[in-house]
Amino acid sequence: MLAAYRKLFSLLLLVGYAWAIPGLGNGSPFGDFEVKEALSQPPAGWKTVSEAPADHLISLRIGLPQPNFEALEQHLFEVSNPDHERYGQHLSKEQVEELVKPSSASLDAVNEWLEAHGFAEVELDRSPAKDWVSIKVPVKVAEKMLGTKYNIWKHDESGDTLVRTTSYSLPKSLHAHIDVIQPTTMFSRFNPLATTLHLPDAPLRAAITYKAPSRASDARLASIDPACSASITVNCLKQLYNTVGYVPKAPKKNSIGVTGYLEQFANENDLKAFYAEQVPEAVNSTFKFISVNGGENSQDPFSAGFEANLDVQFAFGLTYPTPGTFWSTGGRPPFKPDLIVTENTNEPYAEWVDFVLKQKDVPYVISTSYGEPEQSVPEAYARRVCNSFAQLGARGISILFSSGDGGVGDGWDDPTQTKCKTNDGRNVTRFMPTFPATCPYVTAVGGTTDIPEISVYFSGGGFSDYWPRPAYQARHVSDWFKTIPKVLYKDLYNPAGRGFPDVAAQGTRFRVFWRGEGFGIGGTSASAPAFAGIVALLNDARLGRGKRPLGFLNPVLYQKGYAGLNDITGGHMNPGCGTTGFNSTEGWDPITGLGTPDFVKLKAILT
């Protein structure tokens, strides 16, 4: 009976709210609802707990169409193509915003809709190009606006809770003027891509497919400190990737950034201890901290994050004295039903990229070590976030993402394969590509291990189900397909999709300081900042010669840069979803991409 009264009370609230808003009566252009987006079934592992509290706040993000995005994409590829006359002529912040702004018709329609629901301009948070607008609303208002019902959902395995719906609608007149609204149908679980060094027992690893040559066969490898086989330090990376003796030429003009999420805090005392051991000349330096969406960076030693410490210690240690920036983005679940005024969005990529796009000056290289299964992010929303990365690329910024730690699936250690099921209603086994690594406007970094380097079994790789194969990688990926049977893993992946990773770097045995002590850690979360550091040094070499930074990397890497990468031709396969995964072979492959960096060779090619 009590539940029935609650439902009746909620209904009366909504009815009263509708009467109070002008323009929502008979004849209103905003009354004829039609489904905009819907899930065929609730995502696996999520169950409803209860109705969402009526007063729980939601930060609705409304994406307006970008009618000229194709023009932006053309600019991006032209300024990133080493053979194009515009190579390196990156766009300004204002030029990018002009290319992605919505039409006046879309702006007017959405403004009228929001005004009809009682929102004043001062309550709207707009992106610089006005292609996104965010509003904070209680659940009862969001339900009225979107013709839906929000519930509290709980994830069986993790215990995470979210306020979401499986379907939402919009007035028919708005469908052409709104691409996407979230949080609605997105049940993604955003995670750092790190794994400890206590790797699984041998039976869970795929077999070595090729025995790497001995150190003696390569004079440079032979000179690498043997201790690097047991523990990777900054000096190990310098030796391995051929930066020993390089002195930055233009550090004051250069920059590198690392993103942090989920209360992963970068501890300055740990960084100092790391520097004291591995980069003594940097011991009195630190990084610039920037808070996004209320993100914090507590310096309590017990709040230090393994992931954040790993990222900043190696990205900034490898590139010292290049200035480093660490962003901490707020917005982490879990949602607590008793705290009904607490916001719960779990959309950190969009929060971060919106903030950065508003800034005039942005670090030239940015590394992110977080990801999630592509299918867990609604395609319309994933595309809009990916388009935002394209905007940064057009401005001359290199965006690098870890490729994931689940091999070809979302759980190489899951014998039941429950993490490799589609959420489209079919519930069939399928490889799980990692987003945002699958976005064609970012550079995805896979993992290697040992010296000489071989592929590591957990390195995420495969093909996107959302994005087709971009032209810049067509030749290399097509060549790889010639090396495998046509029926290999038939129907488990999209052979026409964007292949990832693009490149690779060491991903095991990184010596990181955490709570004042040294620990070993690994994952492609280590690979991304390592590769980003090499890119920052290449930018330094270019800036020292009066050139622009590299910007979006993929076109130049696939066209010329691959000759400056160490091709990884063997090692572990990357198993998952009941399969042994893919091989690392000569040329590009979906486990180590084009290979690991050789700074001297890349500098000769790219500067």
Q: Catalytic site residues? A: 307, 311, 525
Q: Is 410 marked within a binding site?
A: no
Which among 232, 321, 317, 325 has a CA at the least distance from the CA of 275? 317
Measured distance CA(55)–CA(595) in Å, rounded: 51
Measured distance CA(146)–CA(33) in Å, rounded: 8
Which among 57, 37, 188, 187 has a CA at the least distance from the CA of 135? 57
Torsion 408-414-415-417 (CA) sign: negative
Give the DSSP H or E segment for 95: helix 93-100
Contact (CB, 8 A) for 380 and 179: yes
Q: Which structure tokens are listed for 418?
A: 């429950």
What is the Cα 492 distance to its own chain's centre?
Answer: 23
Q: Which residues pair with 455 in a beta bridge?
A: 448, 571
Measured distance CA(456)–CA(108) in Å, rounded: 52
Q: Is 587 marked within a binding site?
A: yes
Q: Is 568 marked within a binding site?
A: yes
Helix/strand/coil (H/E/C) assignment for every residue in 115-157 = HHCCCCHHHCEECCCCCEEEEEEEHHHHHHHHCCCCEEEEECC
Measured distance CA(528)–CA(550) in Å, rounded: 17
Q: Is 160 marked within a binding site?
A: no
Can you tell me which residue has the tokens 């486990």? 591
| Binding annotation for Ca(2+) | 567-568, 587, 589
| Binding annotation | 567-568, 587, 589
